[in-house]
Amino acid sequence: MKLGIEKESTNSHPNSPLKQLKNVACSLLAVWAVTTVSPALAANQRLPPLSTEPNRCERAFVGNTIGQANGVYDKPLDLRFCDFTNEKSNLKGKSLAAALMSDAKFDGADMSEVIMSKAYAVGASFKGVNFSNAVLDRVNFGNANMQGAVFRNSVLSGSTFVDTQLDNAVFDDTIIGYIDLQKLCTNKTITEEGRDVLGCRF
Ligand SMILES: *[C@@H]1O[C@H](CO)[C@@H](O)[C@H](O)[C@H]1NC(C)=O
Ligand SMILES: *[C@@H]1O[C@H](CO)[C@@H](O)[C@H](O)[C@H]1NC(C)=O
């Protein structure tokens, strides 16, 4: 599935000194933020309390409707701390837009074709997850473990990967905005091959 390229990529100047300065400033700010505020604390402050619904984790197998793809919802899918390890059939193709996924485990799961727009996945584990053809725009993957995840033909525009482990992640035909690409490329955990495929310049 190909979606439109982000608008912000059209007015980017690859090597403008201002942009480079901004990037340096951003990295410094990011480091400062990490060292001064515990990310967990900051996250808890803006997240709703954990849902008390008995089968809240199973709701992922139903997903939410396409109308919620922009993260407009009354009640979010609350998948925090749920364990979907090696879930090979029930997540594929589901809409998990704006789901709360922090600290959940998806290791080895088949999440191909999922729609996860605006999901909050801080600290979640997605080791070796198949994200082929998935729509993962505007997701916060901060501190997540995505070692060996496969992003084949997936959309990653607007998603953030601060302190995300991306060793051996596979990026093939990934759609990503230029600004996001620059941010992603600064992540040293991406392999040489992954950087080549993404088109990292530095
Ligand atoms: C990942 O999912 C895609 C799309 O469903 C499928 O074609 C592919 O075989 C899967 N890859 C692996 C390694 O399971
Ligand atoms: C990439 O990962 C490193 C080390 O985990 C982290 O310090 C950095 O913030 C990440 N970069 C981006 C742009 O997410």
Q: How many helices (H) and strands (E) does the chain have?
A: 4, 2
Strand partners, 152: 172
Distance CA 139, CA 98 (A): 8
Query: What pLDDT does 175 receive?
Result: 75
Query: What pLDDT does 125 receive?
Result: 98
118 lines ligand 2 (CB under 6 A): no
Q: CA torsion angle for 95, 99, 103, 105 (degrees, to 10)?
A: -10
pLDDT higher at 89 or 43 = 89
Please, which pLDDT band fits residue 73 given cuts at 50, 70 and 90?
low
- pLDDT at residue 25 above 80? no
Q: Which residues does ligand 1 sit against, CB inside 6 Å?
A: 112, 130, 132-133
- Tell me the HSE value of 26 on the side-chain side, using a 13 A CA sphere: 14
Query: What pLDDT does 2 receive?
Result: 37
103 Cβ contact list (under 8 Å, min separation 6)? 80, 81, 122, 123, 124
141 lines ligand 2 (CB under 6 A): no
- pLDDT at residue 23 above 70? no
Q: What residue owns the CA closest to ligand 2's atom 14?
A: 162
The residue type at 77: L
Determine if residue 81 is left, alpha or beta; phi over 0 gives left, psi from -120 to 50 gives alpha, anything else beta.
Answer: left
User: Rg of the Cα trace of the chain?
Assistant: 17
CA 97 to chain centre: 12
| Backbone phi and psi for residue 3, each to the nearest 5 degrees, phi listed first | -105, 170
Confidence (pTM):
0.67
Distance CA 83, CA 87 (A): 9
Distance CA 88, CA 101 (A): 18
- pLDDT at residue 7 above 80? no
Query: What pLDDT does 181 receive?
Result: 77
pLDDT tens profile 82-122 = 999 999 999 999 999 999 999 999 999 999 999 999 999 99
Distance CA 141, CA 169 (A): 14
Measured over the CA atoms of residue 59, residue 127, residue 140 and residue 50, the dihedral's sign is positive
CA of 26 to the centre of ligand 1 (A): 36
pLDDT higher at 4 or 104 = 104
CA of 65 to the centre of ligand 1 (A): 24
| Residue boundaries of the structural domains of the chain | 55-202
Query: What pLDDT does 183 receive?
Result: 77
The CATH topology of domain 55-202 is Pectate Lyase C-like (2.160.20)
